[in-house]
Amino acid sequence: MTQLVQSKNAGVRPSPTYIVLKTLLYVVLIALALFTLIPFVWMVSASLKLDREVFSYPIRWVPEVFHWENYQLIWSKVPLLTYFKNTATIALLVTFIQTLTSSFAAYAFAKLRFPGRNTLFICYVATIAVPWQTYMLPQFILMRSMGLYDTLWAIVVLQSFSAFGVFLMRQFYQGIPTELCEAARIDGLSEYGIWARIMLPLSKAAIATLVIFTFVGTWNDYMGPMIYLTRDVNKTVQVGLRRFIQENSSDYHLIMAVSVCSLLPVSIVFLSLQKYFIQGIATTGLKG
Amino acid sequence: MSAYNSSEYRRRQKKYERRKALVAYSFIAPNFIGFAVFTLVPVLFSIFLSFVKWKGGAFSTMEWVGLGNYADIFKTAKVAEKGLGYLFTKVDLGIALKNTLFYTVVTVPLTLVCAVALALALNRAVKGAVGFRTIFFFPYVASMVAICVCWRFMMMKDGPINQLIMAMGINYNKSWTADSGMAIWSIILVSVWRNMGYYMVIYLAALQGVPKDLYEAATMDGANKWQQFFHVTLPQLRPTTFFASTMMIISCFKIYDVVAIMTEGGPGRSTKMLVTYIYDEAFSNFNYGIASAIAMVLLVIVLIFTLAQFSMEDRYANN
């Protein structure tokens, strides 16, 4: 087979049908890539125009004059900085609490024996199948009675203890040989020591996946903040953008400028860590 | 003496076991307490709520109505009188169910076909494959509000999409999201556009797992590329397709964000979905019991697909 492949690659010239098919493939791929990218291009383009230019006929993709001042204007129209701060606070807190507590719990589920282990784990598995939308109302009633309504903490506790994190980490820990833990136990390491010095360093890939998905999921979350955060000082970027759209519904250029700003942080995270995204989906295939 | 020893031993053994269990619980507690309070309790509470009438005031104003909320959302009395057609044309729940189902039935196959096509294209030796993969996946991580409002603008009366359509000779100049016939299609388009990259990644991983010798054997048997695709690739992808479609069906039934930003369920009730209906009853009309009853309908639908997925996974794992 290797010989076959080599001879094919080293072949004097590929057949004409091969060239045609290959060209066709690239044409289709480039067309689909354009279809995927055009909304983003349009967004950036519109954000640099005057509002009356946005829907000009025929459409101009490159604005005549680049109106960078749109990007200055939006900061005075909405407390965008507050929104960013709130979202970053929530996303970082959730990511931290989620990763720490779920890797902690997953260690016990994967490597320790204790009464009630299976029952407790079944509780987690069973709720993975229950959509959040079916219990968002009772959760809201509960949080309101705890005084968490319209505080950032509401979103933090709502996102931090998902069954998904425990599930993912447990899956990964089960793949680590138990002998490693036993050896460490004989060497006198406590269970906490084993978790900190052996399991954590070995699970970097799983943690990276969990961190990225939690961060992006929290950053982009819309429905949670929409239900819980009403005062402007507490709003996240997503609900802030929504408020801006409702209040300035015909300032298309400014809405697009705020949209571009709201996309930047996740885009940077995604582009720098995309390897982990792809690996994470390919191996777990979870989290729709 | 020996009796003393053995009971002493047993006591120590017990103490040791108890300490071990305590250590284990200490690992689980931080997550489990949060999980129990904010997920487990609300899940159970929501079942209970679907049997009461409550506007959210003091707990004493709660009134047990049994299956009353369910009879109310299904309008059982009216439907019994006027037939099933009435449910799907006049009743809120029926319309929400019909819209959600239509959205799901169109979105899932469209997304799957796009995802498979993209994965097959990128699975070959293509220049810039990583770049293409990044582009196709990007919409999935981009925040909903920004991309949905952008699409809504692009689909406006004088927007670029209608300009393109007019240039192609089709006479259509309405805002998609304000046209009761087109609104749901605008939501489908955005959903497919957003999700195809995600499922492409899943298919790419699956294609990598197809054993190469199957293709060699097929080539030996004289199968051409098309035959290889239909007799080797597709059958090998079947478990992935099943997994991806149940996952997508479930997430389609939970659709909310796109609708909330693009159409708010309108015009009229043309894009009212199950979750939009739950949201409106819960947070706009404060009919907590009704909202919970609709939530149970959603739960039952999702559970059916989840169970199907579990049982099929077992079958694939055993084969």
Domain residue limits, chain A: 2-47, 73-284
Instruction: Report the C-alpha gap between A161 and A139 in whole angstroms.
Output: 13
Determine what percent of chain B is predicted with pLDDT higher than 90. Answer: 27
Q: What is the pLDDT of residue B312?
A: 79
Q: Which of A258, A72, A34, A255 is nearest to B156 (CA)?
A: A255
Q: Tell me, yes or no, if A52 comes closer than 8 A to chain B by beta carbon.
A: no
Mean pLDDT for chain A overall? 84
Q: pLDDT tier at A1 (50, 70, 90 boundaries)?
A: very low
Instruction: Report the C-alpha gap between B27 and A170 in whole angstroms.
Output: 13
Instruction: List CB contacts (< 8 A) between B59 and chain A.
Output: none
Distance from CA of A101 to the nearest CA of B (A): 5
How far is the CA of A164 from the CAs of A50, A106, A138, B17, in angstroms?
Answer: 45, 11, 20, 30
Determine what percent of chain A is predicted with pLDDT higher than 70. Answer: 93
Residue A283 reports pLDDT greater than 70: no
Q: What is the pLDDT of residue B2?
A: 53
Determine what percent of chain A is predicted with pLDDT higher than 90. Answer: 19
Q: pLDDT tier at A2 (50, 70, 90 boundaries)?
A: very low
Q: Find residue B53's DSSP bridge partners.
A: B63
Domain residue limits, chain B: 2-49, 70-318
Taking residues B205-231, what's their average pLDDT? Answer: 83
What is the CA A277 to chain-centroid distance, rounded? 9
Q: What's the pLDDT tens digit per position in B244-301?
A: 888 899 889 999 999 999 998 878 888 999 999 999 999 998 989 999 999 999 999 9
Q: How are beta strands B52-53 and B63-64 bridged, if at all?
A: antiparallel
Q: What is the pLDDT of residue A287?
A: 41
Distance from CA of A58 to the nearest CA of B (A): 8
Instruction: Report the C-alpha gap between A42 and B149 in whole angstroms.
Output: 12
Mutant choice from A9, A18, A32, A134 vs B, greatest count of B C-beta within 10 A: A134
Q: Tell me, yes or no, if B282 comes closer than 8 A to chain A by beta carbon.
A: yes
- Name the residue of chain A whose CA is nearest to B143's CA: A220
Task: Say if residue B267 is preceded by a cis peptide, omega within 30 of 0.
Answer: yes
Q: What is the pLDDT of residue B104?
A: 94
Instruction: Report the C-alpha gap between B79 and B76 in whole angstroms.
Output: 5
Instruction: Report the C-alpha gap between A219 and A267 in whole angstroms.
Output: 11
Put simply, the chain A residues between 76 and 105 with a CB less than 8 A from any chain B CB are 100-102, 104-105
Specify whether the CB–CB gap between A139 and A149 falls below 8 A: no
Q: Tell me, yes or no, if A274 comes closer than 8 A to chain B by beta carbon.
A: yes
Fold of A73-284: MetI-like fold (1.10.3720)
Structure tokens at A245: 């759209």
What is the CA A9 to chain-centroid distance, rounded? 41
A263 to B260: CB separation less than 8 angstroms, yes or no:
no
Put simply, the chain B residues between 114 and 173 with a CB less than 8 A from any chain A CB are 118, 121-122, 124, 126, 132-139, 141-147, 149-151, 153-154, 156, 158-160, 163
Distance from CA of B1 to the nearest CA of A (A): 31
B19-33, B42-56, B165-179: least confident range: B165-179
Mean pLDDT for chain B overall? 87
Specify whether the CB–CB gap between A97 and A156 falls below 8 A: yes
A10-14, A104-108, A179-183, B298-302: least confident range: A10-14
Instruction: List CB contacts (< 8 A) between B302 and chain A.
Output: 129-131, 134
Q: Does domain B70-318 have CATH number 1.10.760.10?
A: no
Q: Which residue has the tokens 């290889």?
A: B228
The predicted complex's ipTM stands at 0.84
Instruction: Report the C-alpha gap between B114 and A210 in whole angstroms.
Output: 27
Q: What's the pLDDT tens digit per position in B157-211?
A: 888 888 888 888 888 888 888 888 889 999 999 999 999 999 998 898 888 888 8
Taking residues A263-275, what's their average pLDDT? Answer: 86
Q: What's the pLDDT tens digit per position in A148-171?
A: 898 999 899 988 888 888 888 888
Instruction: List CB contacts (< 8 A) between B178 and chain A.
Output: none
A30-44, B129-143, B207-221: least confident range: B207-221
